Structure 1
Amino acid sequence: MADTFDDFLPEALRFTSPSPLVDIGANLTHDSFARDLPAVLARARAANVTTLILTGTDREHAEQAVAMARRLAGEGLALHATAGVHPHDASRWDAGLAADMAELQRQPEVVAVGECGLDFNRNFSTPAEQERAFEAQLGLAAESGKPLFIHERDAGQRMREMLHSWRDAIGDAVVHCFTADRATLFGYLDLDLHIGLTGWLCDERRGHHLRELVAEIPATRLMVETDCPYLLPRNLPAKLKGRRHEPALLPWILREIAHWRGDSEAELAAATTTTARRFFRLPADASREASRGDTTP
């Protein structure tokens, strides 16, 4: 039986943002959300996470993200989608896939090209295949005029080289789930890129270096995301059964970022939402309108 709105999150994990938040990276097409999606969305609304960008990482999931955003329009949340091919799947890139991506990116629900980029950590596709697919998707972003939603891991130098050669042709771009070092961060900021931060910051094993960097990111370049169901914060004040991350926990990530930046949660919530609305070209009152919507998914 699906979990209800009330029984999935312990009381200690029912956070509420002081102002509406945009989760710029939510993988709600993941199979783990199929059983209780209405309750997941209800919990997001209760947490004041009122706008979700549904990540499309390949043709199948981009199509599902578009369909979900279309199907759930007017359900009390503002849902949008991205459409791209993740570097793990870059070996599948061909003319047919390129045409399908271009068609998906023309849909009004799609607000960014991606998730695309380079991942030299796992190399499920070879670096050469990844660069070929990413170069093609840079071209699609230039043609569509839509912003880029970028994945990068252990490939900062090559990513900067490729983006530098395309910088005048493409518009806004965000490196989502940023986890790299100071030199890589400043290289991206020098390219006028935006930065997405996740619960990686909440990981005592590997997030310490980010705590020293978050204050260096201008508020006009910073956005927040869960990347759910992945990257569940490890420092939550209570255990979560199943350990599946979800948008309702975004206020906890915001709290951590605010702490390490020396900002108030209210200031940071308002700033990241303003930045996200501008970046994805969302209506200025999207979150406010969503928060007034029907609360029954």
Structure 2
Amino acid sequence: MIDIGVNLTSARFDKDRAQVLEDSLAQGVTQLLITGTSVEESQQALQLTHSQPEILFSTAGVHPHYADQVSADYLSQITRLANHQQVKAIGECGLDFNRNFSTPENQIRVFNEQVELAAKLAMPLFLHQRDAFDAWIKILAPYLTKVPAMVSHCFTGNKSELLRCVDAGMYIGITGWVCDERRGAELQEAVKYLPLDRLMIETDAPYLTPRTIRPRPKSSRNEPKYLPYVVQAIAEIKQITEQEVIETSTNNAKRVFNL
């Protein structure tokens, strides 16, 4: 299995990061993509990959939450990071009108700039979207054939949004949100219509711990070792084997991120 979205730079992993990786490998997670959410976090993510370069890879970008804080030269900093062979995508970038930690205007500007950068560098986009679907896909539309791939990371939308993403040729990252019978009902329905050749799996650890874990872990912290619960949920929804979920999502990730 390949976990395409892990926030391994999180302080919640500071005390036992090596053990977390060891545990994930023991559960069949063979490679992980560490998410970069700001220039600083992207630098830290890349640094982490050096410890196990065959297993760990990263992205480089600015999350919409931090759009207000970008420096004048942030794009050149991301470009330098993207030149490293361990960096496999531009992002996490996108729009988040749910919380608006940054102004919509700055979010749109910074997102546009990163989409243009991905096209210039011919790199995949690792995308975030929350309560901003129409504005988000409008920005992406002119670039659908200008970047190698687009991955809708941590997709939590409905069937209609999923189908629009699939029609646009995007890959869809499914997390433990699909294991949540309360918040994830729309996603569970949408996954029925997700073609396997567009599927990727991720934990978004330390967030979105699957609610299906039994017995429930003492810590609320999600870890890559819980990725099999995402696989299990997808297999049940699509009425296929867990091995099919693993093989197709792994092949998709290897192809898109050149792993």
TM superposition score category, shorter chain reference: over 0.9
Give 1:169 deviation, angstroms: 2.0
- Map 1:1-297 to 2 at 5 A: 21-73=1-53, 78-282=55-259
Give 1:73 deviation, angstroms: 2.8
Kept after mapping to 2: 8 A contact 1:198/1:224: yes
Q: Provide structure 2 residue ranges, at least 5 long, that are not aligned to the other structure.
A: none
C-alpha separation in 2, matches of 1:68 and 1:96: 23
Please tell me the residue identity of whatever aligns with 2:124: P
Give 1:195 deviation, angstroms: 0.3
Q: How many residues align?
A: 259
SS at match of 1:213: helix
SS at match of 1:53: strand
SS at match of 1:98: helix
Please tell me the residue identity of whatever aligns with 2:198: R
Kindly name which structure, 1 or 2, has the bigger radius of gyration based on alpha carbons: 1
Give 1:193 deviation, angstroms: 0.6
Return the TM-score normalized by structure 1: 0.85
SS at match of 2:181: coil
Please tell me the residue identity of whatever aligns with 2:106: E
C-alpha separation in 1, matches of 2:223 and 2:181: 20
SS at match of 2:49: helix
C-alpha separation in 2, matches of 1:93 and 1:137: 12
Q: Provide structure 1 residue ranges, at least 5 long, that are not aligned to the other structure.
A: 1-20, 283-297
Please tell me the residue identity of whatever aligns with 1:260: I
Return the TM-score normalized by structure 2: 0.97
SS at match of 1:118: strand
Range with bigger deviation, 236-245 or 44-53: 236-245
SS at match of 1:152: strand
SS at match of 2:58: strand
What's the C-alpha RMSD, in Å, of the aligned pairs?
1.0
C-alpha separation in 2, matches of 1:204 and 1:215: 15
Kept after mapping to 2: 8 A contact 1:54/1:79: yes
Kept after mapping to 2: 8 A contact 1:157/1:184: no
Give 1:206 deviation, angstroms: 0.8
Aligned to 1:13: none
Kept after mapping to 1: 8 A contact 2:38/2:66: yes
Kept after mapping to 1: 8 A contact 2:159/2:193: no
